[in-house]
Amino acid sequence: MCELLGMSANVPTDIVFSFTGLMQRGGRTGPHRDGWGIAFYEGRGLRLFQDPAASSESQVAELVQRYPIKSEVVIGHIRQANVGKVCLSNTHPFVRELWGRNWCFAHNGQLADFNPSATFYRPVGDTDSEAAFCDLLNRVREAFPEPVEIEQVMPVLIEACAHYRAKGVFNCLFSDGDWLFCFCSTKLAHITRRAPFGPARLKDVDVIVDFQAETTPNDVVTVIATEPLTENETWQRYEPGQWALWRRGECVLQGTTD
């Protein structure tokens, strides 16, 4: 299986600390050697870094760890291939345009007997993950040809996620740069950091950060991951079928599919 990393913050924030921990799981402390990627939103723009190499050995990953890009929404992924060969076109996150915005998606899991009809959006690679992303966007575009608020789209997203979950394991992160949606099929956890901030220690590498020195009292930052990344903080685990919509670090909607 793959692992996910997401962030929603109320101020532009770098994710170097969490990203550094996740990258160790791509071949050093974990088996996810089949590529990695991370997307940083900057307004309507999107910086996307991908590499089909193991993240623990990738020079591109080293560059990102040294480059503290500040963003309010981030989606990252490390891959352990099960459907589709190891190559750049099969590397998450995947990005498509809808309503004049960059929509970004990453998936952890595997879907069986999954062959959705390709209408407007079509996969470039050959993963079930990208097929699900294209199917999800096709559903949204068919229901809402013109832009609407995400709150109106939520029933379509939730119904689609329930459908995919019935096909196998479907943990995902999804965003248009304004909000961050997450869905848990098997494993997902989050932590919301706000004042008073304190130190945090990564599980996978000996790195400690004192967030009090890096933040202001008004900052709110939520990090979402397949498995908790720190060992001295309390992460909240999602239940199977649980979903949440985050905006500026705060959960604005949440629920559970049947």
Please give the positions annotated as active site: 2
Which residue is it, tokens 């993963």? 127
| Alpha carbons 110 and 108: distance in angstroms, whole number | 7
Report the half-sphere exposure of 41 (CA within 13 A, side-chain side).
27
Render 4-53 in DSSP notation, one character per residue: EEEEEEEEEEE-HHHHHHHHHTBTTSSB--S-EEEEEEETTEEEEEEESS
Provide the angle, in degrees to the nearest 10, between the axes of the packed helices 59-66 and 16-24.
160
- Give the CA distances from residue 211 to residues 22, 95, 168, 248, in Å, rounded to whole numbers and listed in that order: 18, 31, 38, 18
